[in-house]
Amino acid sequence: LEPEVVVRRQEALAAARLRMQEELNAQAERYKEKQRQLEEEKRRQKIAMWESMQEGKSYKGNLKLNQQEVESGASTSSVVPKSKPNKKPLRGGGYNPLSGEGGGTCSWRPGRRGPSAGG
């Protein structure tokens, strides 16, 4: 191998590593900023809850209204909540575990009688 090729390859590798590290640092900074914003929002909600509690109001109702306002303001795209499909029950309506009917293959039987039955 030629030394020039090896040197160029190592320089390219170092440059790529540096680029990837800078990108990772930028992502970490964005994440930290997002966490700071979430902490600030939680702090504001706690302060609002404390103030409304001091005034004798129902603070839980106000908190729910504030959360709805924040969510509606934060989500600009229209997201449709998923509706759960109608699920059929796991067993038929006539299932009764105390009767012997409709239970399937599992049925209880008493153990064998014998001298080793305990004490």
Contact 87, 94 (CB under 8 A): no
Domain total for the chain?
1
- The residues, any chain, with a CB within 8 Å of residue 103's CB and separated by 6 or more, are 95, 97
Q: What is the mean pLDDT of each run of 10 residues along the chain (119 residues)?
A: 92 97 98 97 94 79 58 57 69 68 64 67
Q: Is residue 93 part of a domain?
A: no
Q: Is residue 31 part of a domain?
A: yes
Q: Is residue 80 part of a domain?
A: no
Domain span including residue 66: 3-72
Would you state the pLDDT for residue 74?
A: 54
Q: Is residue 43 part of a domain?
A: yes
Model pTM score: 0.41
**Phi and psi at residue 18, in whole multiples of 5°?**
-65, -45
CA-to-CA separations, 36 to 6, 24, 30, 40, 89, in angstroms, rounded = 45, 18, 10, 6, 46
The candidate with the shortest Cα–Cα distance to 70, out of 33, 36, 31, 41, is 41
Q: Is residue 104 part of a domain?
A: no
Q: Is residue 101 part of a domain?
A: no
